[in-house]
Amino acid sequence: MSYQVLARKWRPRTFEQLVGQEHVLRALIHALDEDRLHHAFLFTGTRGVGKTTIARILAKSLNCEQGVSSHPCGECAACREIDEGRFVDLIEVDAASRTRVDETRDLLENVQYAPTRGRYKVYLIDEVHMFSNHSFNALLKTLEEPPPHVKFLLATTDPQKLPVTILSRCLQFNLRRLAPEWIQDYLQKVLLEENIQAEAAALKQLARAADGSMRDALSLLDQAIAFGGGTVGDTDVRAMLGAIDSQHVFRILQALAEQDAAAVMAEVAQLADQAPDFADLLAELISSLQHIALLQQIPAAWEESMGDRDALQVLAEKLGPEDVQLFYQIALIGRRDLSLSPDARSGLEMVLLRMLAFRPIDAPPVKATTRAPASSSLVSSSKHTPESVSKSIPESTPEPRSAVNAPSAEPDLKQVPKQTGTNDWHQIVEGLKLSGILQQLAAHCAMSQHDADSICLCLDEAGAPMLNPEREKQMQEALSNYFGRPVNLRIEISSYEGETPAQRQQRLQQERQQEAETAIENDENVRSLIDAFDATVNPQSIQPQD
């Protein structure tokens, strides 16, 4: 006997064998068991999700010699003939090849005659949206009031093209795309029955490539078995599909975590030699970032089908949650806009460089020999030297307070001048030259105790959310370098009678604002305008100037 492809061999024969369409099966099973059958059913959905299969099982349920039920016996002559495609009272029509109105009329001429062998004469019209308008008009009256022995089963991938008059005369069932997990489980079941060895990672790749279609998945599985010589391996499936090896994605994420721009570009260059689909590479990157975020937030939700947990766990420890979310969003937008770039590779490179350029405000600096770190939170990629860059930015340039901006490095602790003789916390904070959230944390502290080896800081309630072990450690390192000796730091969340740098800055700002308002009120020109026009001064419009 000739070989039968898996998509045909493993086509479901009963409702119980169908995967992932429970919302449709529930309605059909109840209708069959309670004898509440409509005369016209419309099944919609993408290719390969079971539209025609459900229609054939429904035809078996209607014509089984054991009686109408949701469990056809599968052994009687009617059931066997329907499975083999030779039942005389099941008229299957491909609407794509019968679009002319005269062909539709010829089809409907025999509707009035009783079925030859079965209980019902069933018309299964596939891709019904391909009918012409005249064909729909010819079908309309018969579809509305067919003889009691006739059932119409319509299937289409594009229900929007059907006239409303047709839709209103049918029970419509929308079949959904199948989840990759359902497809993977079904492929595993098929391979166990076929006694074929397969790797779980390979089945995951096939399930994702099927894009929600079980028929496509079985066809790809057939191809993978042939490609692998009787086995289904991850390497073979990736080669067959032209998929990206996950190790490349992990190495890119590793380089991003280390802020190593040169390593990122080197990995892209190595990938380019394989002529990959760069959109697929971004999709793999997005998927890996989602798995990393899951590991960081809900480790118990991990599933084996998600990939190499050990490699992703390492990345989850190196990347902060903010980085993962930012990278995910950048990759998502980059994939959408990839077609707008001059070529796919340059588009991918810009997406990855954007991940390096835009960082949370307290992120570590980018390691790249082609970049010169600036003294402010903005890093220039031009050929200026660090000195020329720092000169071009005024010292009074305010620090951006947005959550995401260009790389804002923590201060180079080795460059902080070593001090030994001050106990003024305001002076210490200025000398530490901190930036970002670490600077804000120090500004909300006050020194309650200071001796030769230890410092105790009181943190006010406003700064409490910024405190975590990592930032406390960074603060301790900064103070140790500032004083030129190891310092034990303890930060306590409590009130303090003294004034924190943040409170001092707020007080000074309020004093400057009051001085500015007083100066405006005492200005002779302003006084004359007030007297002449009965005007008033809006204090909110007054801002002190340096």
Q: Which of 140, 158, 220, 148 has its CA nearest to residue 183?
A: 220
Q: Which of 96, 78, 97, 98 has its CA nearest to residue 88?
A: 78
What is the reported pLDDT for 363? 56
Phi-psi region of 40 (alpha: psi -120 to 50; beta: other; left: phi over 0): beta
What is the reported pLDDT for 305? 63
What is the reported pLDDT for 464? 84
pLDDT in tens, 457-475: 998 888 888 888 888 888 8
Give domain 413-498's CATH number out of 3.30.360.10, 2.40.40.20, 3.40.50.300, 3.30.300.150. Answer: 3.30.300.150
Q: Which fold has domain 246-357?
A: Zinc Finger, Delta Prime; domain 3 (1.20.272)
Q: Please check the confidence at residue 220 and state whether its pLDDT lies above 90.
A: yes
Q: Please check the confidence at residue 155 and state whether its pLDDT lies above 90.
A: yes
Extract the tokens encoding 50: 């079971």
- Does domain 6-174 match CATH 3.40.50.300? yes
CA gap 270, 534 in Å, rounded: 75
Q: Please check the confidence at residue 69 and state whether its pLDDT lies above 50.
A: yes
What band does 517 get if pLDDT is binned at 50, 70 and 90? Answer: confident
Question: Where does 180-241 sit in CATH, by number?
Answer: 1.10.8.60
CA gap 439, 430 in Å, rounded: 9
pLDDT in tens, 417-436: 444 445 688 888 888 888 88
DSSP 232: B
What are the structural domain ranges in the chain? Answer: 6-174, 180-241, 246-357, 413-498, 503-541
Place of tokens 């009272």: 89
| Contact present, 123 and 91 (Cβ < 8 Å) | yes
Extract the tokens encoding 456: 């105790």
What is the reported pLDDT for 375? 34
